[in-house]
Structure 1
Amino acid sequence: MTKLFCAFLEPVVTLQLASPTSAAWIDQAIRHFDLVLLDHANCEKKAAGNALSLLFRYPANGQLVEALSPLAREELQHFERVHRHLQRLGILLRPLPAAPYASRLNQHLRRHEPEHLLDALLVAAIIEARSHERLGLLGIHLPDPELRQFYLWLAAAEERHWQLYLDLALAQFPADQVQERLDTLLQVEAEILSTLHPEPRVHS
């Protein structure tokens, strides 16, 4: 009876990063944490902007609106928390040249619908999953105990975010289609990060 029931369950879709973050990135991030923290503040603003851009592009998709409007607000709250740490450490908020990570991922977004929506949701999920991993590493390795606690808390939020984007993709598309495209994009992401960017960034 159990086997018969399980045979009709939806296939499980998994998001597992194709390559772990290197020790070289951890060392670079700790040595230049002022730049990483500054970049992190900019990343939180971009994450809020990405959620809003999806709302503008798909205003009739009620499921996206219900999920991404509160997500955009939460990303801005995270930006505010990061900004407080910048102020505490005497670091002025300013723009930084971005690492090529996100732009190279976005080059793989297909232009036509509905494939573009699937790719946009999966790329957002992958970026959040990498953020989850790397912010968790900062929570382990940073010398400042207040920052360690902050980053461990924030890593848990990033996990919720990548799961949200993945759930949205699964609500719109068949699971086998989601998994196939996700696996392709995860390999692309691993290739992008195979060489350490010389400028320390969250996604360098």
Structure 2
Amino acid sequence: MISTPQKSIASIRWLNAPTSWSWVEQANARPMEVLIDHAHCERKAAGSAVQMMFRYLCEPGLGEVLSPLAREELDHFEQVLALIKARGRYLEPLPSPGYGAELAKHIRKVEPLRMLDSFLVAGLIEARSHERMALLAEHSSDPDLRELYGGLLLSEARHFGLYWTLAESRWPREVVTQRLAELAIYESQALQGQLGAPNDVRMHSVGIQFET
């Protein structure tokens, strides 16, 4: 059985607001939609790392970090895809919740600020993924899903740490922390609102909890 709802869900340091219990219930009610969307998320995360690696081809130390990160994201994609196929489904197209596109709007266009924002937005997405996978690992009624999500947590935590390190190694900490705080507000705003229909639940669909 799913655990009794908590009054609050602990948030990790990067995030401005924690996920709501309603999202956990929605995700557990539609596990295949979340699982298929998770596969898309891993694929997109790999693509984002490769895109940055090629955009900043000559940036010292970047390829050495982003290339193995992209490979690990693809390994996660394959793990999720294998479970989807084992359940008689495949990587179906799903309407996007618009979360990533909304965050991308806040990446500044002028370099080197674009690089900083790209690192921090990618890190915020990884942080939210980590938080929500941890919730599913704890509260899903499906043992296979608990095992899958729980097995990915360490890697996901390392990924948002890598993006933080890339930023902090290139800008003063106060610059990084100030911009992260600004982007974290936009990230939480992108998750505000109510789910339109039960089948619209995604790994990054709306559902956050602000302190009162």
Calculate the TM-score normalised by the size of structure 2: 0.87
How far apart, in 2, do the equivalents of 1:44 and 1:27 lie?
22
1:18 equivalent in structure 2? 16
Q: How many residues align?
A: 191
2:76 equivalent in structure 1? 78
**Compared CA separation, residues 58 and 134, structure 1 to 2 (3 A):** same
* Structure 2 counterpart SS, 1:96: coil
Q: Which runs of 5+ in 2 are unaligned?
A: 1-11, 206-212
What's the offset of the Cα at 1:105? Answer: 0.4
What's the offset of the Cα at 1:16? Answer: 2.8
C-alpha contact 2:133 2:149 (8 A) present in aligned 1: yes
What's the offset of the Cα at 1:136? Answer: 0.6
Aligned-residue identity in percent: 46
* Structure 1 counterpart SS, 2:101: helix
Name the aligned partner's letter for residue 57 of structure 1: R
The answer to which of 143-152 and 71-80 deviates more is 143-152
How far apart, in 1, do the equivalents of 2:105 and 2:13 lie?
20
What's the offset of the Cα at 1:62? Answer: 2.6
Name the aligned partner's letter for residue 154 of structure 1: L
Q: Deviations over 1:78-106 (max 9, x none)?
A: 00000111012112211211111010000
2:94 aligned with 1:96, yes or no? yes
Which consecutive segments of 4 or more residues in structure 1 shift more than 6 A? none
After superposition, the CA RMSD in angstroms is 1.2
2:203 equivalent in structure 1? 202
What's the offset of the Cα at 1:150? Answer: 1.6
1:115-194 equivalence runs, <5 A: 115-194=113-192
How far apart, in 2, do the equivalents of 1:15 and 1:165 lie?
14
The answer to which of 91-100 and 14-23 deviates more is 14-23
2:46 equivalent in structure 1? 48
Q: Deviations over 1:175-197 (max 9, x none)?
A: 00000000000011111112144
Q: Deviations over 1:108-148 (max 9, x none)?
A: 00000000000000000000000000001110111121220
2:58 aligned with 1:60, yes or no? yes
Name the aligned partner's letter for residue 127 of structure 2: A
C-alpha contact 2:137 2:149 (8 A) present in aligned 1: yes
Q: Which of residues 110, 130, 146 is equivalent to 1:112?
A: 110
Name the aligned partner's letter for residue 203 of structure 2: V
Q: Which runs of 5+ in 1 are unaligned?
A: 1-13
C-alpha contact 2:122 2:160 (8 A) present in aligned 1: yes
C-alpha contact 1:86 1:92 (8 A) present in aligned 2: yes
